[in-house]
Structure 1
Amino acid sequence: MIEELPDAKRQKITMKIGTHSGTFHADEALAVFMLKLLPQFKGATVIRSRAPDILESCDIIVDVQGQYDGTKHFDHHQRGFMETFSPAFKTKLSSAGLIFKHFGKDIISHQLEIPSNHAQIPLLYEKIYTEMIEAIDGNDNGQSAYPDDTPAAYSTKAITLPGMVASLNPAWNDESNDAILDSQFEKASQLMGGVFVDLVKYYGKSWLPARDIVKASIEKATEYDPEGRIVVFDDYTAWKDHLFKLEEELGISGRTYYALYSDGKGWRVQAVPVSPDSFTSRKALPEPWRGIRDQALSELTGIDGGVFVHAAGFIGGNQTRQGALLMAQKALTF
Structure 2
Amino acid sequence: MAETAAKRLKTSPISIGTHNGHFHADEALAVYMLRLLPAYQSSQLIRTRDPALLQTCHTVVDVGGEYDAAANRYDHHQRTFSTTFPGRPTKLSSAGLVYMHFGKAIIAHHLSVAEDAEEVGVIWNKIYESFIEALDAHDNGISAYDPKAIAAAGLEKRFSDGGFSLGAMVGRLNPNWNDPVPADPVQAQQVEDEKFLTASARIGEEFSRDLNYYTKAWLPARDIVHKAYATRLEYDSQGRILVFDGQSVPWKDHLYTLEGNEGGDAKVLYVLYPEKPTPDAKWRVQTVPVTKDSFESRKSLPEAWRGFRDEKLDEISGVPGGVFVHAAGFIGGNKTFDGALAMAVKALEL
- Aligned equivalents of 2:18, 2:80: Cα separation in 1: 21
Aligned length: 321
Match of 1:80 in 2: 80
Gaps of 5+ in 2: 1-10, 151-155, 182-187
For residues 163-203 of structure 1, the C-alpha deviation after alignment (integer angstroms, 9 at most, x for no partner) is 23222222222233212112211111111211111111111
Q: Would you say 1:239 and 2:255 are equivalent positions?
A: no
The share of aligned pairs that are identical, in percent, is: 50
C-alpha spacing 1:179/1:280, structure 2 compared with 1 (3 Å): closer
C-alpha spacing 1:52/1:325, structure 2 compared with 1 (3 Å): same
Match of 1:51 in 2: 50
- For residue 129 of structure 2, give the secondary structure of its aligned residue in structure 1: helix
Moved more, 108-117 or 201-210: 108-117
- Aligned equivalents of 2:174, 2:319: Cα separation in 1: 62
Contact kept in structure 1, 2:238 and 2:266, CA below 8 Å: no
TM-score by length of 1: 0.89
- Aligned equivalents of 2:160, 2:318: Cα separation in 1: 48
Q: Would you say 1:201 and 2:212 are equivalent positions?
A: yes
Contact kept in structure 2, 1:244 and 1:253, CA below 8 Å: no
Match of 1:192 in 2: 203
Matched ranges for 1:1-334 at <5 A: 13-71=12-70, 72-86=72-86, 88-148=87-147, 153-157=159-163, 159-176=164-181, 177-234=188-245, 235-251=247-263, 254-264=266-276, 265-334=281-350
Match of 1:4 in 2: none
Offset of 1:37 from its aligned partner?
1.1
- Aligned equivalents of 1:110, 1:97: Cα separation in 2: 19
Between structure 1 and structure 2, the one with the greater Rg is 1
Contact kept in structure 2, 1:28 and 1:62, CA below 8 Å: yes
Which stretches of structure 1, 4 residues or more, deviate above 6 A after TM superposition? Answer: none
- For residue 268 of structure 1, give the secondary structure of its aligned residue in structure 2: strand
Contact kept in structure 2, 1:112 and 1:201, CA below 8 Å: no
Aligned residues: CA RMSD: 2.1
C-alpha spacing 1:303/1:85, structure 2 compared with 1 (3 Å): same
Please tell me the residue identity of whatever aligns with 2:77.
H
- Aligned equivalents of 2:322, 2:177: Cα separation in 1: 63
For residues 234-290 of structure 1, the C-alpha deviation after alignment (integer angstroms, 9 at most, x for no partner) is 221122232222211233565212111122441111222222233333233334434
Offset of 1:24 from its aligned partner?
1.5
- For residue 68 of structure 2, give the secondary structure of its aligned residue in structure 1: coil
Gaps of 5+ in 1: 1-11
